[in-house]
Amino acid sequence: MCGILGGVWQRACSASPPRFEEAIEALRFRGPDDSGVEHIECAASWVALGHTRLSVIDLTSAGHQPMSLADGHYSIVFNGEIYNYLELRRELTGLGHAFSSNSDTEVLLAAWRQWGRDCLPRLLGMFAFVVLDRESRTLTCVRDAFGIKPFFYAREGARFLFASEIPAIKALKQQRVELDWQRAYDYLVHGDYDSGPRTFLDGVFHLQPGHLLEVDLTSGDVSEPSSWWRPSIQERTDLSFEQAAELVRHRFLENVRLHLRSDVPLGAALSGGIDSSAVVCAMRFVAPELPINTFSYIARGSSLSEEAWVDRVNGYVGAIPHKVVVSAGELAADLDEMIRVQGEPFGSTSIYAQFRVFQLAREHGVTVTLDGQGADEMLAGYNGYPGQRVRSLVEKGNLAEAWNFLGEWADWPGRNRLAGIKRAVAEMTQGQLYDVLRRLNGMQDMPAWLNAGVLEERGIIRRYPRQRSNENEVGRRVVAELALSLTRRGLPALLRHGDRNSMRFSVESRVPFLTLDMVELLLSLPESYLISAKGETKHVFRAAMRGIVPDDVLDRRDKIGFATPEQEWLLSMSDTARGWLKEDIHLPFFNQQEVVKAFDRIVAGKQQFSWQVWRWINFSRWYANFVA
């Protein structure tokens, strides 16, 4: 686990090289154990490759980066872990490759030399890396299938810049960073972020999950990002439910076994929900003698507390528990630091609970944690995707089954039939009709605290930035939505939160659900295997984990996760928050006087509390400290 950065600039260009010292410092938390920068002349370009290292596999200097093959043909900087590197190393040794270290980086470099981009589907891991090929005179930038590891890039004149985090990109740029107004609008009004290639900074982009791009070092041209993996949702019909559960069980346990490979102490982030509990219980199942440290946020005294479930799992596996309880005052004290760490605005205060969990892990000497992230997007978790499931059933002509499903689905906590019907109607409408329905549901596209005229002059698109799955996938609407959530809307934001929070404390967060073979298996199953006729989410996974996870945990009907008492926190620090909102950030479209008025109405109980409060605070503090 590390940070990477670098750039390409034409030798004929008079522009000075980027400021790598400042950029390296911006990534210091990602790699406190070592760092290196190499400047290379290739074709008509200068190439700089930089790296900060958190030592997890092969702690010796043999794992130093940038790393090059002995013949000098290829060089690499790599952020992530390849969990099946031992298996790949054996295969590559049989093909004539020799190795001088025990590092997964050297295995990755050899795999690239042997198979080129065809090596990517072979990799079980998380990664963002850049390979310099001196023979073809190219620089190839690659991101893993789910975007577990970050990769940002920017063009600045004749220069191409890349880094693991936006602060490093900011340090590398010669020009001042500017706000992307469209992304700011989408976040403030619709809560949308991390759903596409654009960041909150104009001209700075995410390399999307499962994509790569190439820089031609002779011409300086940068290719359009291209996909090296797309999820398939083609249904297979050769597995009974019991056979599918057995296969899911086998693959998940194998994933956990491989994710336990580490040369440093490891533990687990445990919320008490099914996903993180399954990870912890699987750790005990595949490694009976392994000391397991768990780290949990506890909303003590709140209806959101999952402490009883955390205790149940810890007692079941004999784990060593570590808990953190958080107050509104601590949030206020840490808020600017957390926003700086995240690099861009984000969704809710639950991210602070996660921030403190990784801090807790570092305080107890744990460098690697396993996490349950990604399970909901693979197993139709959350509320069970009722709109998509009903649409699938309707498209197959199963109208009675669709109606019965809504009734069964509505019997679960936090659900009702009307909500299910609304979701089904929304799923089956689009265009202007969809926009009208959103407005009828109380969702505005131009609230009073935005200056409409300024936004219209800038050409800001005011519609909800809706992304749709493939319209041709008749009867497979749930899995089509899961495929979209895994790669474009939903999971990328959650993975960003986890990556930045963990790396702030030099902790490597691993997500054993997210492997290509696991995702491809689950997205190929009949939808009824994922969501039962009774409205049970993660149906096949609950069955797969019987005998590994306690039945009472598997039979839970609620979902909380790292939820925080956000309303209580933010209203209890209302004086501090009001001061933040009143601080003029000089944005023409953001009417802060109206924001403060709306905030005061919420504090006084005259207006309903919503997540909008957090967006105002988060965006204002981020812009004031990072852009203004």
CA atoms within 13 A on the CB side of 251: 19
Higher pLDDT, 128 or 34: 128
pLDDT reading at 75 higher than 70: yes
Grouping H, G, I as helix, E, B as strand and the rest as coil, residue 450 is strand
For residue 407, give Cα distances in angstroms to 126, 404, 412, 424, 429: 40, 5, 10, 13, 22
Q: What is the pLDDT of residue 37?
A: 86
Q: What pLDDT, in 10s, does the model give residues 327-338?
A: 889 999 999 999
Q: Is residue 452 part of a domain?
A: no
Higher pLDDT, 60 or 540: 540
Domain boundary among 227, 252, 268: 227
For residue 392, give Cα distances in angstroms to 128, 232, 383, 387, 431: 36, 17, 16, 9, 20
Say what the pTM is: 0.93
Q: Is residue 521 part of a domain?
A: yes
Question: How many residues would you count in the chain?
Answer: 628
Considering only CA atoms, give the Rg of the chain: 24
Q: Is residue 572 part of a domain?
A: no
Looking at the fold, whether 218 and 266 belong to one and the same domain comes out as no
User: What backbone torsions phi and psi does residue 561 show, to the nearest 5 degrees?
Assistant: 70, -150
Looking at the fold, whether 370 and 499 belong to one and the same domain comes out as yes
Task: For residues 527 and 512, give the distance between their C-alpha atoms in angstroms, rounded to a whole number.
Answer: 22
How large is the average pLDDT for residues 472-493? Answer: 92
Q: Is residue 311 part of a domain?
A: yes
Domain boundary among 227, 259, 287: 227
Q: What pLDDT, in 10s, does the model give residues 560-585?
A: 665 678 888 888 899 999 999 999 99
Looking at the fold, whether 198 and 289 belong to one and the same domain comes out as no
Q: What is the pLDDT of residue 448?
A: 92
Lowest mean pLDDT among 235-249, 473-487, 536-550, 557-571: 557-571
- Which letter does DSSP use for residue 451 in this model? -
Looking at the fold, whether 257 and 205 belong to one and the same domain comes out as no
pLDDT band at 19 (very low <50, low <70, confident <90, very high): confident
How large is the average pLDDT for residues 92-114? Answer: 94
Q: Which of 327, 253, 268 is nearest to 564 (CA)?
A: 327
Q: What is the pLDDT of residue 381?
A: 93
Long-range contacts of 466-472 (CB under 8 A, 24+ apart): 466/430, 466/434, 467/195, 468/430
Lowest mean pLDDT among 136-145, 432-441, 534-543: 432-441
Antiparallel, parallel or unpaired: β 34-42 and 45-53 = antiparallel
Q: Is residue 589 part of a domain?
A: no
How large is the average pLDDT for residues 236-263? Answer: 96
What is the chain's mean pLDDT, rounded?
A: 91
Containing domain of residue 36, as a range? 2-227
Looking at the fold, whether 192 and 277 belong to one and the same domain comes out as no
Higher pLDDT, 345 or 488: 345
Q: Is residue 615 part of a domain?
A: no
Q: Which of 277, 304, 244, 255 is nearest to 532 (CA)?
A: 244
Structure tokens at 184: 């700011």
Q: What is the pLDDT of residue 13?
A: 64
Structure tokens at 276: 């993180």
Looking at the fold, whether 44 and 173 belong to one and the same domain comes out as yes
Looking at the fold, whether 290 and 388 belong to one and the same domain comes out as yes
Looking at the fold, whether 377 and 287 belong to one and the same domain comes out as yes
Q: What pLDDT, in 10s, does the model give residues 220-245?
A: 899 999 999 999 999 999 999 999 99
Q: Is residue 614 part of a domain?
A: no
Q: What is the 3-state secondary structure (H, E, C) of 250-263?
A: HHHHHHHHHHCCCC
Number of structural domains (the chain) is: 2
Looking at the fold, whether 191 and 237 belong to one and the same domain comes out as no
pLDDT reading at 179 higher than 60: yes
Q: What pLDDT, in 10s, does the model give residues 436-477?
A: 666 666 567 789 999 999 999 999 988 877 777 776 788 999
Domain boundary among 177, 204, 227: 227
pLDDT reading at 130 higher than 60: yes
Looking at the fold, whether 193 and 254 belong to one and the same domain comes out as no
For residue 483, give Cα distances in angstroms to 142, 476, 511: 20, 11, 17
How large is the average pLDDT for residues 6-13? Answer: 82
Q: What pLDDT, in 10s, does the model give residues 262-282?
A: 888 899 999 999 999 999 999
Q: What is the pLDDT of residue 1?
A: 62
Q: What is the pLDDT of residue 501?
A: 96
CA atoms within 13 A on the CB side of 501: 27
Q: What pLDDT, in 10s, does the model give residues 355-402?
A: 999 999 999 999 999 999 999 999 999 989 999 999 999 999 999 999
pLDDT reading at 557 higher than 80: yes
pLDDT reading at 619 higher than 90: yes
To the nearest 10 degrees (0 to 180), the angle between helices 307-317 and 274-286 is 10
Q: Is residue 268 part of a domain?
A: yes
CB 208 within 8 A of CB 197: yes
Beta bridge partners of 78: 129
Structure tokens at 155: 């063009």
Q: What is the pLDDT of residue 591?
A: 96
Structure tokens at 319: 């784990």
Q: What is the pLDDT of residue 397?
A: 94
Higher pLDDT, 299 or 213: 213
* Separate counts of helices (H) and strands (E) for the chain: 26, 17
CATH code where residue 207 lies: 3.60.20.10
Burial readout 16-48 (b: 16 or more C-beta within 10 A, e: otherwise): eebebeebbebbebbbeebbbbbebebbebbbb
Looking at the fold, whether 192 and 147 belong to one and the same domain comes out as yes
CATH code where residue 385 lies: 3.40.50.620
Looking at the fold, whether 326 and 199 belong to one and the same domain comes out as no
